[in-house]
Structure 1
């Protein structure tokens, strides 16, 4: 294998579940920007990204959940990616001030005390697949994102290409994809217009995130306003971006097909709508997003009824 441009050994001060935290960034099992080792097996996890310094391929390995993390990087963005590695794996996620408040949440937290939110600090890379996920099933969304990356992106640096890793297309490329080409990717005009718009303002979005932290409410608020100023983008899209790019613990995906129903069933025995979800989560502010996170970790979800294939992975309207 080609020698890396840079390496890093990092020892987290908590049992870091590397695969699990990286999976927060994955867009389906066929995501061409992220390759995870099989669950329960040792191996390297591969990620391709565009950093402020340029493209990078990142290989991450942790043989012991309580031990050190070894990472290698190839490409112009190698040093930046390795500097940002702890945040990517949840080191910036601060649970100070969080209170369980409910016995079900308390039990989930007791069982999963080391859950962390990772942060990529790359809002445009989070926006592209999130916009594609609007108004369609998970299967359609993941296929559309994969098609976009494979057609308009490029092979990842170093050995990334050999493992099938690709970079997302640049903002400039996305902004110049013609309308008819989006239809060939099975991405409708409403979503393609939003993608082109955010691509034209990608640098402004990056400036908001640059130098911020997971607990930086001002940056999160600015990013929220910037995302929601784009026609067709709303609270769900903003929350998904802030959770992934900033690791925002207060981001809640209102409008999601499952979140309100699952949280309501877990906490009260009945499904909630978004208004009820907002009311019940308010006491947890600024940690509202941790409640559905913990319940999801514990596998506490309402019983699924009907034909699962029509419900699984169905994304919201905004």
Structure 2
């Protein structure tokens, strides 16, 4: 959805009155008579149009003096994908959502995206209605609201989890941003589960989401020891090795939400864990916008009709995705998964006191940098490529941090021996969540795009894909799923 949506009051009005969940997070409705801002799906009786003001972000509504609604809970909204119209804004938002401003000033954020601080401020205000620091503050406060209402964490732990090192500053910021002290939120929305039980958070998304299809993709690549994937849930062990935790993700059958259950996870880890789960299941996708861009291609329109809830599966860890992509070069998914299981068995970090099947961490770059990987059945050249990848990640010359430009990331990848554009684009697609990543050298993509005639070459496939930008990664997934049999995805 274009960033000017909130200015299109007729569209916003229709979506608000219909409580259309496809617009959730794309704009917010502020009510002048109550001083409250809401999601488009708010179940409260709709206010009169004369009393409504639309804002492009929760931060913009907050900056205008409105406080978040207690009924529709803006903290559960999926993030908008405003980056579609501006690559620089997208990079800055990715960094901001990953918590960059927690430890860095706005000037450092601007420098990371090659802008001046004033330029960045103007860009954010023009597109999102609020500056970077306001977005960061609102994001922290909304997370705090969610933790107060959905978990048994103490107020002190909630403050730490949402990035406040001082209880006094947390209380002041919360009262200013939410119109009441944290204790009032806790009294009004007491969590149902008791002290000592696993935390359960609800993660919203814009429908549709084919959760079963996503789990099927991940299950074919499952590595016992670090993850367990059933027909209706995803489980994983997460670090650090000294104090590992567990997570379980399942779908809420009644709402457009996933349930994230956390066990043994430290409060300060929660923001990063939530961000990674949202990335893994592509929860912030705006499929209304994606489908509008792809549907002019008849083949993709067919894919959308068959699988309207198809999204791009992410990865829990960038290095893990990259390793598995290299393992999957020129072999089937089953063969690549076998190699990945051997790798984890040989070099993964064993964890004491964890349940069977969830008792290892994926090998670190340091563990693989000089490992004799030929011993697990890898060809010598591929083992050398994996070692070079591990060494680059250990040295910091290659990383998977958010906010990277696609072209620059691909260039850094292909500089490593044994990694070509196809592998680099696939890594960008899943590890970075780059919505425009497109491995044009993929044979199945070329065959599908050329059918019923001869398959296209890489240049032709790249040219064909230009009309789908900036959502080519979604086209890739549809084309893979349309192929018979489904064999296009590596590793």
TM-score by length of 2: 0.51
Corresponding residue for 2:246?
Answer: 57
Residue aligning to 2:339:
144
- Partners of 1:19 and 1:36 within 8 A in 2: no
- What is the rounded CA distance, in whole Å, between the counterparts of 2:315 and 2:489 in structure 1? 24
Residues 14 and 66, structure 1, Cα contact 8 Å, conserved in 2: no
Return closer, same or farther for 1:186/1:278 CA change in 2, 3 Å cut-off: same
- 1:46-103 CA distance string (max 9 Å, x none): 1245589985432112141744322223456852213432232212334536242222
Task: Please state which structure has a larger fraction of its residues in helix.
Answer: 2
Contact 1:35 1:45 in 2 (8 A): yes
2:193 is the alignment partner of 1:11 = no
Pick which of 89-98 and 271-280 moved more.
Answer: 89-98
Kindly report which structure 2 residues correspond to 1:229-248, keeping only aligned pairs within 5 A, or say none.
229-248=415-434
Give the superposition deviation at 1:196.
1.4
Unaligned segments of structure 1, at least 5 residues: 213-217, 305-310
**Does structure 2 conserve the Cα–Cα contact (< 8 Å) formed by 1:62 and 1:70?**
yes
- Answering whether residue 234 of structure 2 is matched by residue 45 of structure 1, we say yes
Which runs of structure 2 are paired with 1:104-253 in the superposition (5 Å)? 104-120=299-315, 122-155=317-350, 159=354, 161-164=355-358, 166-177=360-371, 179=372, 182-202=373-393, 204=396, 207=399, 209-210=401-402, 212=403, 218-253=404-439
The alpha-carbon distance between structure 1 residues 123 and 69, as it changes in their structure 2 partners (threshold 3 A), is same
The one of 46, 68, 71 equivalent to 2:260 is 71
Q: How far 1:231 sits from its partner (Å)?
A: 1.1
Q: Sort the Cα spacing of 1:283 and 1:230 in 2 relative to 1 into closer, same or farther, 3 A.
A: same
- 1:160-187 CA distance string (max 9 Å, x none): x42345321111111131x3xx222001
Q: Is the 8 A contact 1:57 1:158 kept in 2?
A: no
Aligned twin of 2:455? 271
CA contact (8 A) 1:131 1:191 kept: yes
Further displaced range: 23-32 or 183-192:
23-32
Larger radius of gyration between Structure 1 and Structure 2: 2
Contact 1:257 1:314 in 2 (8 A): no
1:257, distance to aligned residue in structure 2 (A): 3.6
1:122–1:206: 8 Å Cα contact kept in structure 2? Answer: no
Superposition deviation, residue 228 in structure 1: 0.8
Q: Deviations over 1:271-309 (max 9, x none)?
A: 323233222222223222322322334xx326x7xxxxx
CA pair 23-170 structure 1, distance change in 2 beyond 3 A: farther
CA gap of 1:28–1:89, structure 2 versus 1, over 3 A, is closer
> Does the aligned pair in 2 maintain the 1:257–1:315 contact within 8 Å?
no
In the TM superposition, what is the alpha-carbon distance from 1:240 to its structure 2 partner? 1.4
Q: Is the 8 A contact 2:422 2:440 kept in 1?
A: yes
Q: Does the 8 Å CA contact 1:93/1:247 hold for their aligned counterparts? A: no
- Give 1:244 shift: 0.8
What is the TM-score of this pair, normalised by structure 1?
0.76
CA contact (8 A) 1:205 1:223 kept: no
Structure with higher RCO (Cα < 8 A, 6+ apart): 1
Q: Helix, strand or coil for the counterpart of 1:201?
A: helix
* Partners of 1:75 and 1:285 in 2: CA distance: 38
Distance 1:109 1:242 in 2: 23
Determine whether 1:260 maps to 2:454.
no
